Amino acid sequence: MNSTNRGGGAVGFALSLTLAGLFYWSGLVGLGAEGARAAQEPGAAKANQRLAGARPLSFVFFLVDDMGWRDAVCYGSTFYETPNIDRLAREGMRFTEAYAACPVCSPTRASIMAGKYPARMGTTDWFGAPQPDAMGRHWTRSKPLLPARYLNHLPLEEVTIAEALREAGYATFFAGKWHLGGEGFFPEDQGFEINKGGIHLGSPPGGYFSPFKNPKLPDGPKGEHLDDRLAAESVQFLQQVGRKPFLLYLSFYSVHTPLEAKKDLIAKYEAKRKQVKAEGPLFAPEGERMARQVQEHAIYAGMIENMDRAVGQVLDALDRLHLAEHTAVFFMSDNGGLSTSEGSPTSNLPLRAGKGWLYEGGIREPMIIKWPGAAAPGSTCSVPVISTDFYPTILQMAGLPLRPAQHVDGVSLVPLLRQDGSIVREAIYWHYPHYGNQGGSPGGAVRAGPWKLIELFEDGRLELYNLKDDLGEQHNLAAQQPEKTAELHRMLKDWRKAVGARLPTPNPDAKAQK
Number of residues that bind Ca ion (CB under 5 A): 5
Q: Closest separation between CB of residue 338 and Ca ion, Å?
A: 9
3-state SS, residue 436: coil
CA distance 172 to 165: 8
Q: Closest separation between CB of residue 186 and Ca ion, Å?
A: 18
Q: In this complex, which beta carbon is closest to Ca ion, that of residue 8 or of residue 354?
A: 354
Q: In this complex, which beta carbon is closest to Ca ion, that of residue 227 or of residue 334?
A: 334
Q: Closest separation between CB of residue 68 and Ca ion, Å?
A: 11
- The DSSP element (H or E) to which 229 belongs, if any, is helix 226-240
Q: Closest separation between CB of residue 499 and Ca ion, Å?
A: 22
The contact pattern for Ca ion, residues 100-119, with x = CB under 5 A and - = no contact, is -----x--------------
Q: In this complex, which beta carbon is closest to Ca ion, that of residue 332 or of residue 416?
A: 332
**Hey, which residues between 63 and 82 contact Ca ion (CB under 5 A)?**
65-66
- Number of Cβ within 10 Å of residue 1's Cβ equals 14
The one segment of 236-244, 288-296, 326-334, 385-393 that binds Ca ion by CB under 5 A: 326-334
**Hey, which residues between 450 and 479 contact Ca ion (CB under 5 A)?**
none
CA distance 397 to 60: 13
Q: In this complex, which beta carbon is closest to Ca ion, that of residue 152 or of residue 335?
A: 335
Q: What are phi and psi of 487, to 5 degrees?
A: -60, -50
Return left, alpha or beta for 184; rule: phi > 0 is left, psi -120 to 50 is alpha, else beta. Answer: left
CA atoms within 13 A on the CB side of 366: 27
**Hey, which residues between 10 and 69 contact Ca ion (CB under 5 A)?**
65-66
Strand-pair partners of 453:
446, 464
CA distance 316 to 330: 15
Q: Closest separation between CB of residue 118 and Ca ion, Å?
A: 13
The one segment of 152-160, 264-272, 327-335, 477-485 that binds Ca ion by CB under 5 A: 327-335
CA distance 68 to 361: 7
Q: Is 334 in the site for Ca ion (CB under 5 A)?
A: yes
- What burial class does residue 279 get, using C-beta atoms within 10 Å of its C-beta: 0-12 exposed, 13-18 middle, 19+ buried? exposed
Q: In this complex, which beta carbon is closest to Ca ion, that of residue 101 or of residue 414?
A: 101
- Check: CB of residue 88 under 8 Å from CB of residue 72: no
CA distance 155 to 170: 22
Q: In this complex, which beta carbon is closest to Ca ion, that of residue 176 or of residue 191?
A: 176
Instruction: Tell me the residue number closest to Ca ion, measured at CB.
Output: 105
Q: In this complex, which beta carbon is closest to Ca ion, that of residue 190 or of residue 251?
A: 251
- Check: CB of residue 357 under 8 Å from CB of residue 103: yes
Q: In this complex, which beta carbon is closest to Ca ion, that of residue 335 or of residue 346?
A: 335
Q: Closest separation between CB of residue 14 and Ca ion, Å?
A: 47
Contacting residues toward Ca ion, per CB under 5 A: 65-66, 105, 334-335
